[in-house]
Amino acid sequence: MSRSLHALADVAAMTRRNLFAQVRVPALLATATALPVMWVLLFNYVFGGALQDGDVRYIDYLVPGVMALAVTFNLNNSSVAVAEDVNKGMIQRFRSLPITRWSMLAGRAVFDTLRNLLALGMILVVGFVAGFRYHDGAGRAIGGIALLLAFGFAASWLGSLIGLVARNVETASMGSLLFAIPLTFVSSLFVPLTTMPGWLQAVAKVNPVTHAVDASRALSLGGAAAEAITWTLAWTVGLLVLLVPLTARQYRKVST
């Protein structure tokens, strides 16, 4: 087999491995599917009345936001999974095998994208039941999903990096929450920025999740999306350029 075929085969084997883990470890399956569903229901029915602002129906405002929440929070799952692999000596095994060097990390990112796709699907199903509708056509809807998957792809690498650095599950989980919570809460995800104090608004405005959420909303509700999309893509590419080499370097340092 040629080297590029080997690389594909290795990434496929790694993705397959992650799929098996997902399906056979009940806790993982639950977090991937039940959690996003819970967020939609929780925020719509419990908080919806209080957070309602303006004439947009809250469910229409909420669903694109929860979709961004899911792909961002997924970095927690990635970091824990990778930390487990470090802990159990699997990274040592993989690094001593004749597989393409980056295939384990790539397999993680590919798998995370598939998991994100599943989560987005569940959110949409529950959202539709709760009254969410796309207002701007299928093309933009699909574009919105693709954009979020791309952003989630970048977030996944952050999760992998945290897992490799943390080396154990508890530290990885804590570390990734330290990123995921501020990223998702200090943004336009749950509430409009204008409801935040000035200094917090400033922080939220540079948060990539704000751009991802704004783009996601514009693509489903209608409205100018170009600026938000551009910013989201810029952040995605920028994060990948920064994180991928860092993660690869950290991976090479793992020997035990």
CB of 209 to other proteins, least distance (A): 32
CB of 31 to other proteins, least distance (A): 15
Stretch that binds other proteins, among 16-24, 145-153, 175-183, 188-196 (CB under 8 A): 16-24
25 forms part of the interface with other proteins (CB under 8 A) = yes
DSSP class per residue in the chain? --HHHHHHHHHHHHHHHHHHHHHHSHHHHHHHHHHHHHHHHIIIIIIHHHH--SSS-HHHHHHHHHHHHHHHHHHHHHHHHHHHHHHTTHHHHHHTSSS-TTHHHHHHHHHHHHHHHHHHHHHHHHHHHTT---SS-HHHHHHHHHHHHHHHHHHHHHHHHHHHHH-SHHHHHHHHHHHHHHHHHSSTTTS-GGGS-HHHHHHHHH-HHHHHHHHHHHHHH-S--HHHHHHHHHHHHHHHHHHHHHHHHHHHH---
Stretch that binds other proteins, among 2-10, 54-62, 184-192, 240-248 (CB under 8 A): 2-10
21 forms part of the interface with other proteins (CB under 8 A) = yes
Stretch that binds other proteins, among 7-15, 181-189, 215-223, 243-251 (CB under 8 A): 7-15
CB of 206 to other proteins, least distance (A): 38
24 forms part of the interface with other proteins (CB under 8 A) = yes
What string marks each residue from 85 to 114 as x (binds other proteins by CB under 8 A) or -?
---xxx-xxxxxxxx---------------
45 forms part of the interface with other proteins (CB under 8 A) = no
